[in-house]
A and B are shown apart, each in its own frame.
Chain A
Amino acid sequence: MSTSEYGPLSLHVPEPAVRPGDTPDFSNVVIPKAGSVARPPIDVDPREIRDLAFSIIRVLNREGEAVGPWAGTLSDEELNEGLRHMMTLRAFDARMLMAQRQGKTSFYMQHMGEEAVSCAFRKALAPGDMNFPTYRQAGLLIAGGYPIVDMMNQIYSNEADPLKGRQLPIMYSSKEHGFFSISGNLGTQFIQAVGWAMASAIKNDSKIAVGWIGDGSTAESDFHAALVFASTYRAPVVLNIVNNQWAISTFQGIARGGSGTFAARALGFGIPALRVDGNDYPAVHAVAMWAAQRARRNLGPTLIEHVTYRVGAHSTSDDPSAYRPKEETEAWPLGDPVIRLKNHLIRKGIWSEERHRQLEAEILETVIGAQKEAEKHGTLHSGGKPSVRDMFEGVYAEMPPHLRRQRQQAGV
C-alpha cells in the first residue's frame, strides 16, 4: 500500500436511510405539487426540458382533483374503466397469491401499489403497438382485454396454458395483445423494444414499441445499449423505468448511484426524460400519451421514470420484512393508486363508496369465476397438464433428428 498526502482512500457503499426497526423516512423524496409541472409541446427540443427529469408530473391533488396542464386526457368513462382495470388486477393478484400458497402453482409476483403504471399506460397505445414488459406489468394485459382465465391457465401451467407449461408462472406472452414474451432475465428486453421500433421505422410502418425495465435492472448493460440505439436511430419507442424503490432487498440508491434520478440517465443521450407519479392514473396516462405521440410522429424516443412503490414482496420467494421497515408502505408519500383514482371519481361526483363496494364484489365474482374455469383445466400439481410431447416441440421450427430421437427415448 502506498501513502498519499491526502490520506487513505475509502470505498463508498450507499445504504438506505432506514432498515427494519427504524422509522420510515421519505423526506428525501421531493414531491412537487400536483399540476405544477409544465407540459411542453411534443416536438420540444430535449435540451429545453432537462428539468422534467428531476421533477414529478402529477395530476391528482390531495383533494382528489385533477389539476394542471397534464390533466384532462381521459373521459369519465375512461377513468371509470381505469379504476375497474386496477381493481381487477388487484383482485387477480390476491387470488393468485392465495393459489400459490395453496400449492396450485410454484411462484407468483404481485403488483400491489403499482397497478396504475401498466393499466394507465396501456390506454395510450394503439392496436399493433408492442410492449416488451417485465414481470410486473400484467395491467397491460388486463387493460388490453386479454382474458384473465388465460392468464390463470398460464400461471397454473395446466392443459389450457397458452405457453404449454414451458414458462415460469406470470411470464406471459400474447402477440395479439401487443405483449412480447417475458424472458425473466433482467433488462434483456429493453434493447429489443428499440430494435422492434427501428424495424417499424425501416418498414415505414406506424406502430411503436414500448420498453419496460425496473429501477434495479437499469444497471444492466442492456439498458445502456437501448438508450444509445434509441438515441442514434431516433427509434419510435417509449422506454419506461418503473422505479418501485426496491430491487428485491436492494434499495434504489445502489442502481442509481450519484445520478439524481433514473430519468436523468437519458439526458446524456439527448433523449427527453419525464418523471411521473406512478400512483396517479391520469398522470401516467397523460405522460404515456405525450411520449407515444412523439414516437408516432417520428420525433424519436422518450424515457419515462414512473415513481412508485412496491408494496408487496418482490415475489412469493421473498420476505421484505428482512430488509425494510414494515411501516414503510404506509409512509410512502404518493399513496395508493386505486384509492386515489376512486377519490377523484367521487370528487367528480361520478362515483360513491357504495358503488365502489359493488364494483369490488362484482370484480371478485368475475375473478373467482375465471379461477374456477381455469382450475377445470388443472393446476400445477393436479388435473390436466400440458403433454410431455409439448416439451420437445417448439425448440426449432422443425424438430431436428437428435431431438426426435430423444423424444422417442422419452417414450412420448
Chain B
Amino acid sequence: MPRMTMIEAIRSAIDVSMERDDNVVVFGEDVGYFGGVFRCTQGLQRKYGRTRCFDTPISELGIVGAAIGMAAYGLRPCVEVQFADYVYPAYDQLVSEAARIRYRSNGQFTCPMVVRMPAGGGIFGGQTHSQSPEALFTHVCGLKVAVPSNPYDAKGLLIAAIEDPDPVIFLEPKRLYNGPFDGHHDRPVTPWSKHDLGEVPEGHFTVPLGSAAVRREGKDLTVLAYGTMVHVAQAAAEEVGIDAEIIDLRTLLPLDLEAIVASVKKTGRCVVVHEATLTSGFGAELAALVQEHCFFHLEAPIARVTGWDTPYPHAQEWDYFPGPKRVGEALLATMEA
C-alpha cells in the first residue's frame, strides 16, 4: 500500500472525490495555481481546470458564503480556510446560515460542503497560526466536526465529509502534516512513511463520521483525545508506564459515545486532553457525558489536560502546549486519586 504524508492523503482524498463527482469544487486563498500554502491542493487545478479548483479573494466570509450558495445549487464545495485562526470572518455564514439551512427550509435547501482548515499549534505560529477552535463549531447545531490524527483517517474522513449531506468542519492538525508529532519538540519526528497509519489506499474509501478508534488498548484508564494529542497521549502513557486505553475520537460531532462509555466503564478512570483552551472547551462536554453515562463506574475524578486559558503565545509555546509531561502527570494523578 502506498505511504502518504497527511498532506498527500488530504490531496488524494480531494482528487478521488473530484474524479468521482463533477460537483466537487475546491477553492480558497492560494489553493489554485500554487496549490495552497501547505500544498494540500497541489496539481488539482492543472488536472481539473480553473473552474473546479481556483484562487479566491482574501475573504473567508466570501469563501464560505459562496460555498453555501454553490451547495444550495447542488455542488459539493470543499473549501480551504488558510488557517483556522482566519475562519472568524466566516463565522456568521457558518453559524447563522450553513448550519441552519436544512432546518429552516425543511430540507428544500441543504448545505453539503466541507470547510477544511489547518489548526493547532506546535509550529511557533503565535496567536494567528496556532488556534484550536473546534468547540466554537461543536456548539453550533447543524455542523459536523472532524479532526484526523493520521494520514489514513485524514483521507477516509475527508472523503466521508465531502460525501456527507451536511456541512462539515474539517480541522487538520498542521503539526501532524508531516509526521506523528508526540509533543517532544526537541526530538526529530518520525515521518509518516515509517508509521503504520501512513499507509493509505490510493483509491476511494471512507472512515465514517462518528466512529472513534482505539489507538492503544489498556486497562488502567481511558484517555479521550483527538488530533495531535492522540500522539502526545501515547507518548505520555508509555513514559509514565500506565496501561492507558487511548481513544482517538476522530469526529467530535457526531461523537462515538458508545466507544467512550465502553472504555470508561472498563477502566473506571478518564483523562481528557486537547490543545484548545480549557474553559468551555470540548473537554467539558466529554467530561459531562462521561459522568452522565459512567458515574457509578468512575473511581477518580475526570481530569482535563488542555492549553491554558490565554491567547496562544509565541515565545512560551512549549509552556503552553499540553505536552507529554503534563499529560503524564495527569495520568499518574488520576491513577492515584
Interface residues of A (CB under 8 A from B): 10-11, 13, 15, 19, 106-107, 157-158, 161, 164-169, 171, 183-187, 216-217, 219-222, 247-250, 254-255, 257, 317-318, 322-323, 380, 385-386, 388, 390-392, 395, 402-403, 406-407, 410, 412
Contact = CB atoms under 8 A, between A and B. Distances in A.
A404 to B, nearest CB: 11
Given A13-B51, A388-B319, A395 B59 contact: no
A172 B311 CA distance: 16
B315 A248 contact: no
A254 B54 CA distance: 10
A166 B127 contact: yes
A221 B61 contact: yes
B205 interface: no
A159 to B, nearest CB: 9
A184 B315 CA distance: 16
Interface string B127-157: 1110000000000000000000000000000
Interface string B301-317: 00000001111011110
Contacts of A165: 313-316
Contacts of A220: 58-61, 89
A262 to B, nearest CB: 12
Interface stretch (B30-38, B217-225, B245-253, B284-292): B30-38
Given A216-B57, A391-B308, A168 B126 contact: yes
A400 to B, nearest CB: 9
24 contacts: A157-B314, A161-B315, A164-B315, A166-B313, A166-B315, A167-B126, A168-B125, A168-B126, A171-B126, A183-B128, A184-B127, A184-B128, A187-B58, A216-B58, A219-B59, A248-B30, A250-B58, A255-B57, A257-B57, A391-B316, A391-B320, A395-B311, A402-B278, A412-B319
A192 to B, nearest CB: 14
Given A161-B315, A250-B30, 19 more contacts: A13-B51, A13-B54, A167-B126, A168-B125, A168-B126, A183-B128, A184-B126, A185-B88, A185-B128, A216-B57, A220-B61, A221-B59, A247-B58, A250-B55, A318-B37, A395-B310, A402-B279, A406-B308, A410-B319
A402 B306 CA distance: 14
Interface string B50-78: 11001111111110000000000000000
B194 to A, nearest CB: 25
Given A166-B314, A216-B57, A390-B316, A106 B124 contact: yes
Nearest to A19: B33
Contacts of A168: 125-129, 314
Interface of A, helix, strand, loop or mixed by DSSP: loop
A10 to B, nearest CB: 7
B210 to A, nearest CB: 32
A406 B278 contact: yes
Interface in B1-32: 29-30, 32
A330 B200 CA distance: 45
B30 A249 contact: yes
A217 B310 CA distance: 27
Contacts of B320: 391
A380 B34 contact: no
B86 interface: yes
A317 B37 contact: yes
A388 B316 contact: yes
Residue from the set B30, B129, B313 with the largest chain A CB neighbour count within 10 Å: B313
Contact of B310 (A106, A171, A185, A392): A392
A185 B86 contact: yes
Interface string B83-97: 001101100000000
A323 B313 CA distance: 32
B63 to A, nearest CB: 10
Nearest to B88: A185
A317 B61 CA distance: 25
Contacts of B128: 168, 183-185
B312 to A, nearest CB: 9
Given A250-B55, A395-B310, A107 B316 contact: no
A349 B125 CA distance: 48
Given A161-B315, A385-B315, A11 B51 contact: yes
Contacts of A412: 319
Nearest to A186: B58
A186 B88 CA distance: 11
B328 to A, nearest CB: 14
B85 A185 contact: yes
Contact of A250 (B29, B278, B309): B29
A248 B37 contact: yes
B114 to A, nearest CB: 20
Contacts of A407: 308
A364 to B, nearest CB: 28
A403 B50 contact: no
A106 B88 CA distance: 25
Nearest to A14: B55
A317 B174 CA distance: 14
Contacts of A11: 51
Contacts of B50: 13, 15
A157 B315 contact: yes
A398 to B, nearest CB: 14
Given A13-B54, A410-B308, A106 B314 contact: yes
For the complex of A and B, list the 6 residue pairs with the smallest distance between their C-beta atoms, beginning with the closest: A165-B315, A168-B126, A219-B57, A249-B34, A157-B315, A184-B128
A186 B86 contact: yes
B57 to A, nearest CB: 3
Contacts of A317: 37
B124 to A, nearest CB: 4
A120 to B, nearest CB: 26
B322 to A, nearest CB: 11
Given A167-B127, A402-B279, A391 B51 contact: no
Nearest to A403: B309
A219 B125 contact: no
A257 B34 CA distance: 19
A318 B62 CA distance: 24
Contacts of B88: 185
A164 B319 CA distance: 14
Contacts of B319: 388, 391, 410, 412
B8 to A, nearest CB: 18
Given A386-B316, A391-B310, A249 B126 contact: no
Contact of B55 (A184, A254, A318): A254
A273 B61 CA distance: 26
A98 B34 CA distance: 26
Given A15-B50, A219-B62, A322-B34, A406 B126 contact: no
A388 B125 CA distance: 17
